[in-house]
Structure 1
Amino acid sequence: MVEKSLTIHLDDEMLAPAQAGRFNFANRIMAAVEALGWQADLAPATTAPPPAGSYALHHMQGPTHPRALIFRRCYYYPFWHIERLAQRWRWPVAQARFVPAEIDREAARQFIHRLRQKELPGLRPAPPAHVLIALQGRLRQRRSFQATTPVEMLRAVAETGKRCIATLHPREDYSAGDLTALDQLCRAYSNLTIGRDSRALLPAAEYVVTQNSAVAMDAYLLARPVVLFGQVDFHHIALNVADLGVAEALARAPDHRADYARYLYWFLKLQAIDAGSEAAEAQIRAAMKRGGWPI
């Protein structure tokens, strides 16, 4: 007799491939709990809490409930997290301490080499020519996780006098007011322009500035310094405005160095679930147990 049941809630884009068995992480989740005698099913996304006695996993966001957890890709496939909260900066990894000396140098070197070839094929670091500013949404609004508004961030970087190229998020729908504010900044600062492809601009970036865009992870892959104006889970080796202040963080950026290979190995291989690993089911069950489930 099945004692417990799990429903994995997916948006339309993920649900059909998962039902066809083509979503590897969903397959690994189902295998992880079915090995314990649980029943596992797939269902459309919902904000409703799970029925009495059952458990639920939601992609990206879902109800706050002791029997509901969130799963989210950790920037690159096949790495994932299963967490209680949707906000990355509130995850345990954000509070964890990164100690480079504890990470095998050669394993990290091989890992970042493979990841760079997979995610950034053909891109190699080039002589610094500009500062890349990766924008997200709501340019004139300061949200709870941000040290300044994105517009204020842009102005601060432009004030350095360096050549600055800002890129817009391809999936954001910017308001007329935000676009007007951006245009006014570009008119006020001749060194500030708008670019298109963040990844294409990365190799020649002296450093990258963002609130908490995933472009910063690509910057780590190319060993580029990062200045963060917002909270995020991958803050450990960045220059954080919340800690240093705007002026100090930007002043340090050109000469900032970090152990990018060891960090990415630690952050992805040791802190996330590797859905391509033989240990994936055990990692999934451990994450569920940390989330308070009776695993």
Structure 2
Amino acid sequence: MSDLVFHVPRSWFSLSGEGFRPFYVRLMKGLDARGVAYEVEVLDRDTLPQRVEADSAIHVVHHGRFAHPRARNADVAYIYPFWNFDAQGIRAFSSIGKTAFPQDDIDPEVARPFFRRLRKRIVGGRTSRYEQPTDAAAVNPAKAAVFLQSEGHRIVGETCYLDRWQMLRGVCADTDGPVLVKPHPRDTDPTTHEMLRALADEFPHMTLSSGNIHDLIAATDRVVTINSAVGVEAYLHRKPVVLCGQSDFHHIADVARSPQDLSQILSRPPRKRAYDKFIWWYFGDRCLSSTDPDLADRVLGRCGLA
């Protein structure tokens, strides 16, 4: 009988598909070296509950949010090579969101170098989850930068406290100074751009930009988003963040659960936070790295199989 069962997309089994992600390849090699039995199956979300109940193994669900004592959900956690490996879900649904951030217990001598390395790679390299313009462009200073997400490619409704238009209108109405807005690069819906043009006419201090995300973050006093990975990237810039939706990295952000909350947050000067400690805690402690030589041991520990 297998100790672990991996549920992954069907396309990964095809030579023409994406193939298995390095996280799984390295993990399985580590399990082989330790003599741990496992199986790999095509992910069927409809029958997953019955499949999990059919045995006593730990079931690893790719890109899942299947909460079960014997399930672990896995996928990239905003920044490669770090992965969520969690009993509740991934990203906005992971249990990290309900875990207290132990700021006072974290050694700054451990956190700072970790933060600097990640900042150098992401901010210094001007990279992001989605392709960005490579040329640096001058961006006028702004009081706030709003980063929209693509609602056509993922389910965001249940994670929103405010929808994107409530968020953007609130920021424009309550910000005394320039507001930068970057549409999501994957949002090609003409309705989105029509609405943005109408808001730009209504609020002359609002400017649309398709520039590199890091240029925009560097130019602004604070970043506002629903729960995009840009919030994490803003932490790497040491910039204050306002979140308008459910997130598992809310611990050092201001969270607006209503238009009134957003207005009150924007009326206060932004506050600096323990960015270096949080980045280490989230990625170095709460997540797993696919490059970690002890990856298999950490996975087995989280599965109660160590």
* TM band (smaller chain): 0.7 to 0.9
Unaligned 5+ residue runs, structure 2? Answer: 127-135
How many angstroms does 1:198 deviate by?
1.9
C-alpha separation in 1, matches of 2:243 and 2:63: 22
Contact 1:71 / 1:80 at 8 angstroms: preserved in 2? yes
TM-score by length of 1: 0.82
How many angstroms does 1:71 deviate by?
0.5
Distance 1:128 1:248, change over 3 A: farther
Percent same amino acid among aligned pairs? 24
Q: After TM superposition, which residue ranges in structure 1, 4 or more long, deviate above 4 angstroms? A: 2-5, 13-21, 62-68
Amino acid at match of 1:6: V
Amino acid at match of 1:165: L
Amino acid at match of 2:261: G
How many angstroms does 1:143 deviate by?
2.2
Residue of structure 1 aligned with 2:233, choices 218, 227, 241: 218
How many angstroms does 1:285 deviate by?
1.6
Moved more, 23-32 or 46-55: 46-55
Matched, 1:154 2:137: no
Contact 1:142 / 1:148 at 8 angstroms: preserved in 2? no
How many angstroms does 1:89 deviate by?
3.5
Matched, 1:24 2:33: no
TM-score by length of 2: 0.80
C-alpha separation in 1, matches of 2:217 and 2:164: 20
Distance 1:266 1:142, change over 3 A: closer
C-alpha separation in 1, matches of 2:162 and 2:88: 23
Distance 1:71 1:249, change over 3 A: same
Matched, 1:132 2:145: yes
Contact 1:209 / 1:228 at 8 angstroms: preserved in 2? yes
Residue of structure 2 aligned with 1:257, choices 267, 272, 280: 272
How many angstroms does 1:66 deviate by?
6.3
Amino acid at match of 1:186: A
C-alpha separation in 1, matches of 2:288 and 2:60: 15
How big is each residue's C-alpha offset from its partner over 1:238-280, in whole Å with a ceiling of 9 and x where there is no partner?
A: 011129811221123x431101011101111111112222332
Where do 1:221-236 residues align within 5 Å?
A: 221-236=236-251
Aligned length: 284
How big is each residue's C-alpha offset from its partner over 1:22-81, in whole Å with a ceiling of 9 and x where there is no partner?
A: x4310233245443531343x555434248436643321376776553211122222111
Alignment correspondent of 1:189: 203
C-alpha separation in 2, matches of 1:107 and 1:167: 34
Alignment correspondent of 2:184: 169
C-alpha separation in 1, matches of 2:26 and 2:222: 38
Contact 2:89 / 2:95 at 8 angstroms: preserved in 1? no
Contact 2:177 / 2:205 at 8 angstroms: preserved in 1? yes
C-alpha separation in 1, matches of 2:12 and 2:146: 30
Amino acid at match of 2:64: Q
How many angstroms does 1:84 deviate by?
3.3
Contact 1:147 / 1:229 at 8 angstroms: preserved in 2? yes
Contact 1:158 / 1:189 at 8 angstroms: preserved in 2? yes
Amino acid at match of 1:251: S
Contact 1:33 / 1:40 at 8 angstroms: preserved in 2? no
C-alpha separation in 1, matches of 2:140 and 2:105: 31
How big is each residue's C-alpha offset from its partner over 1:197-244, in whole Å with a ceiling of 9 and x where there is no partner?
A: 322311112110000010011100010000111110000000111298
Alignment correspondent of 1:6: 5
Moved more, 207-216 or 272-281: 272-281
Contact 1:30 / 1:40 at 8 angstroms: preserved in 2? no
C-alpha separation in 1, matches of 2:13 and 2:178: 40
Contact 2:235 / 2:275 at 8 angstroms: preserved in 1? yes
